Amino acid sequence: MSAVLKFAVVGHPNEGKSSVVSTLAEDDTVPVSAFPGETVRCASYPVKIDGEEIIDFIDTPGFQNPVQMKEWMQAHGEDGEALMQAFIAAHKDQPDYHHDVELLRPIAEGAGIIYIVDGSRPVRAPDRAEMEILRDTGRTRMAIINSKEADAAHLDEWKLAFSQHFNAYRVFNAHHASYRERIDLLESLKGVNPDWQPVMERVIETYKHDWQMRTEHAADILAELLDKNMTCQQEKRVASQREARELQPKMLEAFRAKLSKNERRAHRRIRKLFKHTLFKTALDEAGILQEDLFSKQTWHLLGLERNQLVAASAIAGAASGLGMDALMAGSSLGLWAAGGAAIGAASAFFGGERAAHSIGKSRFGIGRLLGGSKVQVGPVHNPQFYFILLDRGLLYVDSIIHWAHGRRSEGVLLSSESGEKKGYVSGFSEEARRCCSQHMKALRKGNRQELEARRAAVQAMLVEVIQACSRR
């Protein structure tokens, strides 16, 4: 089928037309505003498969004169396309009717109708007029109830009205619709008009496929981040022990920055994968993800519980000889503050063990080499770090896929008074946790083949987690 299937998304001003288009088309550049009358022209948001435009959602301005429009149309006494053309011809030069003419245009040109209403408010005369106008266009039309508020008192009123004027209706929330609900909406569109069926089927198939691909890709990005950050290390040659000691705080700082940067880069890739461009700024306003990777809050809320961590460490064979408190607290010991005690803690955190192997008793990670010394930071051997990275990654994916493109406000907030963990990993099954620990162990050992296998296992496990998350 070559003709592009067009849907005009119409309705009263400020009901969320642009938001629905934004969410459906996964495009957060659609202008949305709390002030009515933001959209003044029709704008088209096509869905393409392999570069070929298949369907097209058209965002339209809202009805400005529904009652007068209806009166005019009823007095005119024509029907369908002729009626619309007559209305457009008669009003196209009247500034007051600019929006009404604009929104009618795509319908007159054959687009199907998606009518948006806010189901949390009562039905009023202008709404009835709009529904009658749309009915008189004779086009296939479906209504979407986009309830801005929880109030369900008026839903029956709306449903009754829709059953009189529309081929179908469904509930769809522009701010909270998940991938699932998007698919469901497309499924209903498929059912409304038999002509649309083949195209819609193709679109839905492609959507599902694409989603699976994105899920796998996201899991891959996360696993790669774990690989990178758990093996990351930095070293520098120095002439003397004194110089080494002076250099150490700086190197710790640089190392920390490097780990954070890797994480940020991975998150950015995930964001792009799910086609969000504005999301980051919104996310940055609030929420645990806005916290630094090494902040006290992060280590407090994310990662494994104490007993889980003990088990994980045992499997990973990591951090033997380090106190559990040091592992759990992470930066709360003042990891990044300058000063002797902090440096001591830091060296325990960042590969103190290996440093201890190579340079005997030194806890500073400074090794003697021929012709000088070297300062070495990393790799991190604290298993909690692995889980915190993973937790943050999953939280990020979670908020990204549940962040409808039509929604334009603040991000996820987590808080914990009781000291309980709030992230994903503390809720993992034992098997999943074991899978992670073995990955960690392979990372430490550096056996390539084993590492590949462990990583694949973790990635498969993550795909499942993300799939479950997007079904929610």
Q: Which of 13, 334, 344, 372 binds ligand GDP (CB under 6 A)?
A: 13
Asked if 159 touches ligand GDP (CB under 6 A), the answer is no
Q: Which of 6, 91, 99, 139 binds another protein (CB under 8 A)?
A: 99
Backbone angles phi, psi at 176, to 5 degrees: -125, 0
Q: How far is the CB of 19 from ligand GDP (least distance, A)?
A: 3
Q: Which two tokens stand for residue 53?
A: 């435009």
**Of 307, 436, 424, 419, which Cα lies nearest the Cα of 383?**
436
For residues 316 and 280, the answer to whether their CB atoms sit within 8 Å is no
Q: How far is the CB of 147 from another protein (least distance, A)?
A: 13
Asked if 15 touches ligand GDP (CB under 6 A), the answer is yes
Provide the phi-psi class of 110: left if phi over 0, else alpha when psi is between -120 and 50, else beta. Answer: left
Asked if 126 touches another protein (CB under 8 A), the answer is yes
Q: What is the DSSP string of 4-19?
A: PEEEEEEESTTSSHHH
Asked if 410 touches another protein (CB under 8 A), the answer is no
**Of 141, 144, 150, which Cα lies nearest the Cα of 107?**
141
Q: Which of 4, 38, 98, 132 binds ligand GDP (CB under 6 A)?
A: 38
- Residues 245 to 274: which contact another protein by CB under 8 A? none
Asked if 384 touches ligand GDP (CB under 6 A), the answer is no
* Distance separating alpha carbons of residues 330 and 345, to the nearest angstrom: 9
* Distance separating alpha carbons of residues 154 and 148, to the nearest angstrom: 12
Closer residue to another protein (CB): 125 or 337? 125
Asked if 126 touches ligand GDP (CB under 6 A), the answer is no
Provide the pairing of β-strand 141-145 with 366-369.
Answer: unpaired
Closer residue to another protein (CB): 36 or 198? 36
**Of 43, 186, 166, which Cα lies nearest the Cα of 113?**
166
Q: What is the DSSP string of 69-129?
A: HHHHHHHHT--HHHHHHHHHHHHTT-GGGHHHHHHHHHHHTT-EEEEEE-TTS---HHHHH
Q: How far is residue 424 CA from its own chain's centroid?
A: 16
Q: Which stretch, 123-131, 155-163, 257-265, 427-435, contacts another protein (CB under 8 A)?
A: 123-131
365 binds, among ligand GDP, Mg ion, another protein, none (CB under 5 to 8 A by kind): none
Q: How far is the CB of 36 from Mg ion (least distance, A)?
A: 9
Asked if 63 touches another protein (CB under 8 A), the answer is yes
What 3-state class would DSSP assign to 282? helix
Closer residue to ligand GDP (CB): 177 or 436? 177
Asked if 191 touches another protein (CB under 8 A), the answer is no
Closer residue to Mg ion (CB): 99 or 271? 99
Asked if 100 touches ligand GDP (CB under 6 A), the answer is no
Residue matched to tokens 């009562």: 122
Q: Which stretch, 11-19, 209-217, 341-349, 442-450, contacts ligand GDP (CB under 6 A)?
A: 11-19
Residue 145 β-bridge partners: 117, 171
* Distance separating alpha carbons of residues 230 and 214, to the nearest angstrom: 24
Residues near Mg ion (CB under 5 A) are 17-18, 39
Q: How many chain residues bind ligand GDP (CB under 6 A)?
A: 20
What 3-state class would DSSP assign to 433? helix
Q: Which of 17, 165, 276, 444 binds ligand GDP (CB under 6 A)?
A: 17
* Distance separating alpha carbons of residues 394 and 80, to the nearest angstrom: 51
Q: Which stretch, 30-38, 75-83, 227-235, 439-447, contacts ligand GDP (CB under 6 A)?
A: 30-38
Closer residue to another protein (CB): 153 or 213? 153
Q: Which of 71, 201, 210, 292 binds another protein (CB under 8 A)?
A: 71
Closer residue to Mg ion (CB): 20 or 203? 20
**Of 250, 259, 255, which Cα lies nearest the Cα of 338?**
250
Q: How many chain residues bind another protein (CB under 8 A)?
A: 24
Closer residue to ligand GDP (CB): 60 or 298? 60
For residues 117 and 173, the answer to whether their CB atoms sit within 8 Å is no
Asked if 121 touches another protein (CB under 8 A), the answer is yes
The Cα-based distances of 338 to 62, 162, 343, 347, 380 in angstroms read: 59, 67, 7, 13, 19
437 binds, among ligand GDP, another protein, Mg ion, none (CB under 5 to 8 A by kind): none
Asked if 66 touches ligand GDP (CB under 6 A), the answer is no
* Distance separating alpha carbons of residues 108 and 179, to the nearest angstrom: 31
Asked if 12 touches another protein (CB under 8 A), the answer is yes
Q: Which of 79, 96, 325, 410 binds another protein (CB under 8 A)?
A: 96
Residue matched to tokens 């022209």: 41
Asked if 132 touches another protein (CB under 8 A), the answer is no
153 binds, among another protein, ligand GDP, Mg ion, none (CB under 5 to 8 A by kind): another protein
Binding footprint of ligand GDP on the chain (CB under 6 A): 11, 13-19, 32-34, 36, 38-39, 62, 146, 148, 173-175
Binding footprint of another protein on the chain (CB under 8 A): 12-14, 34-37, 62-68, 71, 96-97, 99, 121-122, 124-126, 153
